[in-house]
Chains A and B, each alone.
Chain A
Amino acid sequence: MKILSPADKKKNTVCNLIMFAALIAVLIYIDATSLSVDMIVKVLQKGCVYAIVVVSMNLLNGFTGLFSLGQAGFMLIGAYMYSVFSVDNASREMVYSFSGKPVINFQLPIIVAIILAGLAAALFSFLIGLPVLKLKSDYLAIATLGFAEILRTIIQWDKFGRVTNGSFPISQLNTFKARLADTAFAKMSFVIPFFIVAVICIGIITLMIHSTYGRAFKAIRDDEVAAEAMGINLAKHKMISFVTSSFFAGIGGALYAVFVGSTNAAPFTSALTYEILLIVVIGGIGSITGSILASFLYIASQEWWLRGLDSGTFMGITSPIFRNGFRLVVFSVIIMIFVLFFRNGIMGDREFSSLGIYRAIKNLPGKIAGKFKKSKAEVQE
């Protein structure tokens, strides 16, 4: 983290204000034109959920250098912990009708349930971390992946049906929607709670990365042996990073359950972990703002911008090859291009700042002029 000079600080504040104003303007414009508001709301909500999980994975993989693939498992715990305590009282019997009398007969406030979800994931990650964190790189990855798969099987076991509803989904969850539907900005306001949770979570992770712990994490990532020689307790710091990351993955999982409105073990497979890892890398390993940016872009292009490829017409072109599934083919090709040609991701390990953009724009004419000069010089040679 660079320390800004007072003049830069002032500029930075101004730039931040301009960006913020621009964002608000876009939101108002969207609200006014109501250009597929439902889709935007969905994208922003899912983007918030993914941003939390992606940043939590970046803390582990990008800042601590622990290659762990257990994120989906911790999301699963979070989602279930939240769901079990949030089934609507009136319809609980109906939801559990295949599994017998539910064990948990009460409903907790959303925030309490979400925090509980994070704590449950953290507890599990502590237990898993005890044996697993001694392993190195790829072995750690496959062991955490294995734990995630084991958790998935255990949660679907019908003997736990009275708590987890076996392999049936837990539906009729308590969500933010009912309470906020009548406020101003009607539909856009669905996003606000997601946004608040995401900001809090990512804020805490950022603070952590800038603390002494964060510096210790980076030291471990850069060279384990050297870090140990400098007096950093490897086991302790790895565990802190692992548990924190899982805590926020758990919260992300809970928020995912809020977003979908029901919980089922099916989406939390290793494919989900791969997807999250993909977003981490697209955003740039070791860049928090990159992760956030990448999650929103990823979700928006997956769910929204390429939608036309499935339904037959895309950017005014109609073609018979645009049928169901083509969107994902194009999407994965885009990802491959990204992975092959932008190997450091959108942000590399730098952070996004509005000052940086201002400078880039300011320097742009100079750069273009420089290019021209260079080509002229080459011609003369």
Chain B
Amino acid sequence: MDYLLAGISVGGQYALIAIGYTMVYGILRLINFAHGDIFMVAGLIMVYATTAMPLYLSIPFVLLVTVIIGVTIERVAYKPLRSAPRMSVMISAIGVSYTLQNIALYATGGLAKVYPTIPFLSNTVKIFGATTKWVTVITPVLTIALVLGLVAIIKFTKIGIAMRAVSKDFETSQLMGVKINRVISMTFVIGSFLAAVGSILYFSNYPSVVPTSGSMPGLKSFVAAVFGGIGSIPGAVVGAFIIGICENLIRAVSIGGVSLTPFSDAFTFALLIVILCVKPSGLFGEKVTDKV
């Protein structure tokens, strides 16, 4: 039961990050390698923010700053390369990720920063006989609420319609008068916002933040996005929950007295490879055929 709860919670956090990956991919066809690091930077900003201001101010502050960072990165590193081949943009993303990590390393001096305890989230609670923190319970609820909100935005608002148009066909929608740059910025706003929320929830479960702590959750969320079919938001959410639950349940399994705990990360990737072999474009992905 413990494992299942932890899995659902981690799955929710992955879902929040995975949405950022999948939306950017849907619109720009870009694997945003820097997304995991934006997530880490949000964690670090939280650490610094809580030392300077009270909690009820620092949370909105973190959300705001992360969004600004996300949009700035898009403006500086991706926008000039809009007409360049896909590989260049991807390399730019890798460069940004490298830069963020190095800046974080410089700022922290290489020391692990202790993540602040958020009073309500860190309190313990008992459900179904399992003791856990409140954050575990809140995460899935908050995730689903945010995802529903996001779906509403995409379904019903003007910018949402524009987003769908751009992800269907970049050039044609531009010809139809969709303001591409606004749509792309909006994508990064949403992606970074969700990453910041995810970071607050994720790091509440961990004692500290280091410059590389974004890479593993980032990678796994990306796996979740691919798992669900990259470009599809429901796919990313479902994929993230499946991966979160599986990697925690595997910790409880032991075969012939050999614990499988060390393989929880490897299992995630194995699952991905199996899915890709059976269904090459993920669970909810669109099938693309090559045209001559």
Contact = CB atoms under 8 A, between A and B. Distances in A.
B263 A329 contact: no
A274 B84 contact: no
A100 B262 CA distance: 19
A277 B258 CA distance: 37
A138 B31 contact: yes
A324 B109 contact: yes
A332 B99 contact: yes
A326 B292 CA distance: 50
Contact of B262 (A135, A157, A277, A339): A157
A150 B263 CA distance: 8
B99 A226 contact: no
Chain B binding surface SS class: helix
B273 A147 contact: yes
A273 to B, nearest CB: 10
A227 to B, nearest CB: 11
Contacts of A184: none
Given A145-B269, A325-B109, A339-B77, 12 more contacts: A153-B265, A224-B290, A270-B219, A271-B215, A278-B94, A278-B98, A281-B91, A324-B109, A332-B99, A332-B102, A339-B91, A343-B88
Q: What secondary structure prevails in chain A residues at the interface with B?
A: helix
A270 B223 CA distance: 13
Interface stretch (B122-130, B151-159, B200-208, B275-283): B275-283
Q: Which of A159, A275, A324, A340 has its CB near the most chain B CB atoms (within 10 A)?
A: A340
Interface of B: 25, 31, 33, 77, 80-81, 84-85, 87-88, 91-92, 94-99, 102-103, 105-106, 109-110, 212, 215, 219, 222-223, 226, 230, 258, 262-263, 265-266, 268-270, 272-273, 276-277, 280-282, 288, 290, 292
Contact of B276 (A135, A150, A156, A158): A135
A153 B266 contact: yes
**10 closest cross-chain pairs (CB), A and B:** A146-B269, A325-B106, A153-B266, A332-B99, A328-B102, A150-B266, A281-B91, A343-B88, A274-B94, A332-B102
Nearest to A61: B87
A138 B25 CA distance: 10
Interface string A319-345: 000011110110111011001100100
A135 B280 CA distance: 6
Contacts of A143: 272-273, 276
A337 to B, nearest CB: 9
Contacts of B258: 159
Nearest to B31: A138
A332 B37 CA distance: 14
Chain A interface size, under 10 / 10 to 19 / 20 to 34 / 35 or more: 35 or more
Which of A131, A139, A159, A226 is most buried by chain B, counting CB atoms within 10 A of its CB?
Answer: A139
B84 A343 contact: yes
Nearest to A340: B80
A247 B5 CA distance: 44
Contact of A147 (B110, B230, B269): B269
Contacts of A343: 81, 84-85, 88
A154 B266 contact: yes
A269 B216 CA distance: 10
A208 interface: no
A285 interface: yes
A142 B33 CA distance: 12
A349 to B, nearest CB: 12
